[in-house]
């Protein structure tokens, strides 16, 4: 399958809790201790979790140029984020994305986005992610997504996107406001 680097912004390296999910799906898991060019070389996907409600990890922020270069060169970037505020600043090519942190109104209603690919929606429906303790921690506005973006999940309001993907260079970025 794929070589997946795993990284937790709060730990400043991968978390052991991430390994079983990756290896259980047939991937090779690589602990990323510093998300720099050297460690990102040779991985297919960087799987990032941000469990903080208030900030992004300093080490991740310090290596954004290396991460963006790796994605432009063909790596995939997957981010699950609790903070949401300012997420456009950590997404390669995402400066124009309008991000709203909102954990009160509509946070427990997550729906499949209109037009989401069948490969993504297999086995899920409009109630799969509903009713969690803050199923989403905010959203991005549909109209602000970069060219080529594909909304995957929304709140009840279809213009409030909680998971999406978009191309960046030769790679792909996946971002979600649904905390893991």
Residue 132's pLDDT is what?
65
Q: Which of 148 and 105 is assigned the larger pLDDT? A: 148
pLDDT tens readout for residues 41-95? 999 999 999 999 999 999 999 999 999 999 999 999 999 999 999 999 999 999 9
* Mean pLDDT over the full length of the chain: 93
Average of pLDDT values for 116-122?
A: 89
**DSSP per-residue string spanning 8-44:** ETTTTB--GGGHHHHHHTTPEEEE-SS-SHHHHTT-S
What b/e readout covers 48-61, taking b as 16+ CB neighbours within 10 angstroms? bbbbeeeebbebbe
Other Cβ atoms closer than 10 A to 131: 10
**Residue 30: what pLDDT?**
98
- Kindly indicate the confidence band of residue 160, based on its pLDDT and cuts at 50, 70 and 90: very high
The whole-number pLDDT of residue 98 equals: 97
Q: Dump pLDDT digits (tens) for 166-180.
A: 999 999 999 999 887
């Amino acid at each position: 399958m794929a070589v997946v680097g795993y990284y937790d912004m709060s730990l400043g390296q991968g978390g052991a809790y991430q390994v079983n999910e990756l290896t259980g799906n047939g991937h090779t898991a690589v602990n990323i201790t510093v998300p720099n060019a050297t460690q990102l070389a040779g991985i297919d996907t960087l799987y990032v979790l941000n469990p903080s409600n208030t900030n992004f990890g300093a080490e991740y922020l310090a290596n954004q140029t290396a991460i963006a270069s790796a994605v432009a060169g063909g790596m995939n970037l997957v981010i699950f984020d609790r903070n949401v505020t300012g997420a456009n600043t950590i997404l390669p090519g995402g400066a124009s994305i309008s991000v709203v942190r909102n954990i009160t109104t509509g946070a427990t209603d997550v729906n499949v986005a209109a037009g989401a690919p069948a490969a993504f929606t297999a086995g899920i429906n409009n109630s799969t992610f509903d009713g969690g303790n803050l199923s989403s921690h905010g959203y991005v506005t549909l109209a602000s997504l970069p060219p080529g973006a594909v909304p995957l999940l929304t709140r009840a309001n279809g213009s409030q996107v909680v998971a999406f993907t978009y191309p960046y260079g030769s790679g792909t970025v996946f971002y979600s406001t649904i905390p893991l």
